[in-house]
Amino acid sequence: MRSALCTWMARRLLPLGEGLGLVPETPPVPLRQVVRRFWPDVRPYRLQLLLGLACLAAVPAVQAAEIWLFGALVDEVLVPRDWGPLPLVVALFVGLAVLSGALSFFDDYLATAVGQRMLLRLRCRLFAHLCRLTGDVLDRRRLGDLLARLGGDIAAIETLMVAGTAQLVSSVVRLGLFTALLFVLDWQLAAVALVVAPAFYVAARAFARLLRRASRAKRRASGELLAVAEEALSNAVLLQVNDRADAEVARYRSQADAALRAELSAARVRALFGPVIDLFQLAGVLLVIALGAHALIQGRLSLGELLAFLTLLSQLYAPVRDLGELSGMVFAAGAGAERVLEMLDTPPAVTEPPDGVTISPRGVVDLDSVCVRYADAARPALVDVSARLEPGELVVLTGPSGAGKTTLVKLLLRLLDPGSGAVRLDGWDLRDLTLSTVRAATAVLPQDAAVLNASIADNVRFGRSSATDVEVRQALADAGAIGFVDALPAGVDTVVGEKGRLLSGGQRQRLALARALVRDPRVLVLDEPTTGLDEPSARLLLGSMRGLVPGRTVLVVSHDPLVVAAADRVLVLDEGRLTEGPRRAYAPAAASSAVTA
């Protein structure tokens, strides 16, 4: 019967939801799956949670005692006008108020402590997973949307797991206790009062389905709005030089309008929900008042008992409403969980081997019949690539765009694993070594050098946090950066600004090179190091590059003829296939002590 009534109301209300601006959605992640996937984040705090729930469950008992005591006050003091029992009643009221306050304090504190710790744990878990995903995976996501998942979506999950559990326990205890007391006072009135409860609950459930749609629309719109803002502000110069400010403002306003419509849709549903539920509650209370007055006239109830009954009844409808609204909380958490789980279930391209080996490598790199093919690619990125790179030689990797150079560099850094074949370091397959061993042995200077909003020294120490001041200055000197650094007002303590905007392009590149060199890697990869340099600066860089070669395997990805001409060996990639140019002796006359990048 209840299911049929719920279905009938849903059919009547869902068209209304579409008129309110909501569109049908696919079912969210089921509650069971949400609890199963995120319970590990609550488990460490289960004792505090249970203690808080115990305090929460005790609060309705105290409230019931206060209501019962109120009825006794009316019957024993007010009606007979006997002030004798008043001091005892007042003392009991004060005692119950103190007890209720203490229980509420511990309940609120424990719920907040558990909720915030669970929130911290879950956010750190998602953030750690995102940090392990490779750039090509993250590049398919908008940064603002990822930040929204770390924020509001995880908060919705925490609200369900902690606040939702507390609301469920409180509502069930209140319903059970208050219903039992109603039947103790007068079972006939109680039976009449509860007739309204099923309709009350069904209406709440039907409105909750509309709130689910609004919650999912709000979360998606909020994520898109944050993504638009992040994208525009992080590319402010590009936006300004192309005179796109007005267009971006219009795009932001359009997305903000979508978020506003979603918020207003939810507000309309909530605003309609309140009056409808109040009508059910008023109908129940008026019916009980009429029958209660008849029972009072017949002498079946005293005035105090009738007032206590009405007070208990008013308290009874609140948990029924809360249970109906709880489904809306479940839907909101399901919408958030759907987005969080989408990221948590995205596997990293590489994983830590279960029995990883730690070595101190020399830097001998072997590519053994390596093949790579991306899932959405029409042809393989690398086909049967074999080569050997040894310490003490300068190897240049060249070839047309799209030939597979970036893929080969990712293999060397183990940002990607080959589909077949193997990449070996000193004879060890990279997949058998710990990730920390591979990352400690390799370093890369990307073409677009990333610089942090921190001091020069902190940027260098990002490569190795334990580097001393002497090692930081040595790395800057080896990178040819010590000259411009000492000329800065605060030297190595100068903060370079967001993305290094206070430095020139060449200075940022030299700073990034120092960050790579401070790690003292055995394998050093330089990606287009002469890009943007004039010919004299490029020749100085090529002369000083020999200083990086002894004891290291140096691979330079470049199209620059000067770099190719200076190489000990040249590897040419074309359509994923590797050919090797002739070996040649490096010209020592070109050497120079300064590195200019």
Q: What is the per-residue pLDDT across 245-262, written as a single tens digit (0 to 9) for each? A: 777 788 888 888 887 887
Bridge partners of residue 370, in order along the sequence = 385
Q: Higher-confidence residue: 167 or 422?
A: 422
Percent residues over pLDDT 70 in the chain: 77
Bridge partners of residue 433, in order along the sequence = 357
Banded pLDDT at 234 (limits 50, 70, 90) = low
The confidence score (pLDDT) of residue 236 equals 66
Banded pLDDT at 592 (limits 50, 70, 90) = very low
The confidence score (pLDDT) of residue 241 equals 59
Given a cut of 60, whether residue 39 has pLDDT beyond it is yes
The confidence score (pLDDT) of residue 537 equals 58
The confidence score (pLDDT) of residue 446 equals 80
Q: Give the C-alpha separation, 357 to 437, whole Å.
A: 8
Banded pLDDT at 590 (limits 50, 70, 90) = very low
Q: Higher-confidence residue: 19 or 596?
A: 19
Given a cut of 50, whether residue 333 has pLDDT beyond it is yes
Given a cut of 60, whether residue 10 has pLDDT beyond it is no
Banded pLDDT at 538 (limits 50, 70, 90) = low
Q: Higher-confidence residue: 514 or 84?
A: 514
Q: Considering the entire predicted model, what is its pTM?
A: 0.64
DSSP 433: B
Given a cut of 50, whether residue 17 has pLDDT beyond it is no
Bridge partners of residue 445, in order along the sequence = 526
Banded pLDDT at 25 (limits 50, 70, 90) = very low
Sheet holding 428-429, edge to edge: 382-389, 365-372, 420-425, 428-429
Given a cut of 80, whether residue 411 has pLDDT beyond it is yes
Given a cut of 60, whether residue 170 has pLDDT beyond it is yes
Q: Give the C-alpha separation, 295 to 182, whole Å.
A: 14
The confidence score (pLDDT) of residue 36 equals 80
Average pLDDT of the residues in 197-206:
67
Banded pLDDT at 81 (limits 50, 70, 90) = confident
Contact 213, 28 (CB under 8 A): no
Half-sphere exposure of 78 (CA within 13 A, CB side): 13
Task: For 421, list phi and psi in degrees, rounded to 5.
Answer: 85, -170
Given a cut of 60, whether residue 525 has pLDDT beyond it is yes
Q: Give the C-alpha separation, 349 to 203, whole Å.
A: 48
Contact 71, 304 (CB under 8 A): yes
pLDDT tens for each residue of 461-487: 888 888 888 988 888 887 778 888 888
Bridge partners of residue 420, in order along the sequence = 371
Given a cut of 50, whether residue 16 has pLDDT beyond it is no
The confidence score (pLDDT) of residue 536 equals 65
SS3 content of the chain, % helix, strand, coil (to 5): 65, 10, 25
The confidence score (pLDDT) of residue 541 equals 60
Q: Higher-confidence residue: 126 or 212?
A: 126
The confidence score (pLDDT) of residue 455 equals 87
CA 471 to chain centre: 36
Q: Higher-confidence residue: 317 or 54?
A: 54
Bridge partners of residue 525, in order along the sequence = 444, 555
Given a cut of 60, whether residue 352 has pLDDT beyond it is yes
Average pLDDT of the residues in 23-42:
69
Choose among 368, 357, 501: nearest CA to 437: 357
* Exposed/middle/buried for residue 429 (C-beta within 10 Å: 0-12, 13-18, 19+): middle
Given a cut of 70, whether residue 325 has pLDDT beyond it is no
